[in-house]
A = this chain, B = another copy of it.
Amino acid sequence: MIPAGFRMTPQRMAILAEVQNAERHLTAAEIYERVRRKYPTIAYGTVYRTLHLLAKHGLIQEFPFGDNASRFDRRTDRHDHVHCVVCGELVDVEVPTALLARQVAAEKTGFEILDHQTVFAGICPSCQEKRDRTVQEARAGRR
């Protein structure tokens, strides 16, 4: 699981478990809070060191996410994300244009392309509903 010379401590197992059992992409702070329920003395430093270790060895993936904090993902394969600009939710998505896009980017820039990642910004279904309800209420009120 982790290369020889590394120790599988209870803290590391707990951190890995939290990422793998998470219902969504967690920040380091969220992981820290969840692990703290079982290990009340765990330190932020341990959480960060462990997350980076796990990511480096391909057990999890880190997404350094613009505005705010990095998110950690149990998925380790390449994939893209959709980000709700209203509530902040971050959802995985597969988009099939990968190969063509990379080839174009390589040709246009001379770079050797190793990886890529697309972030779509938008409004999630639940926030669309809320917005639509608000618009309807506003119309009703105006009458």
Contact A112 B128 (CB under 8 A): yes
**A residues contacting the other copy or chain, number (CB 8 A):** 40
Interface of A is mostly: mixed
Contact A97 B100 (CB under 8 A): yes
Does A95 sit at the interface, judged by CB under 8 A? yes
CB-contact partner of A64 in B66, B101, B102, under 8 A = B66
* A70 CB → nearest B CB, Å: 8
CB-contact partner of A114 in B96, B100, B122, under 8 A = B122
Chain A 25-46 interface mask (CB, 8 Å, partner B; 1/0): 0000000000000000000000
* A101 CB → nearest B CB, Å: 5
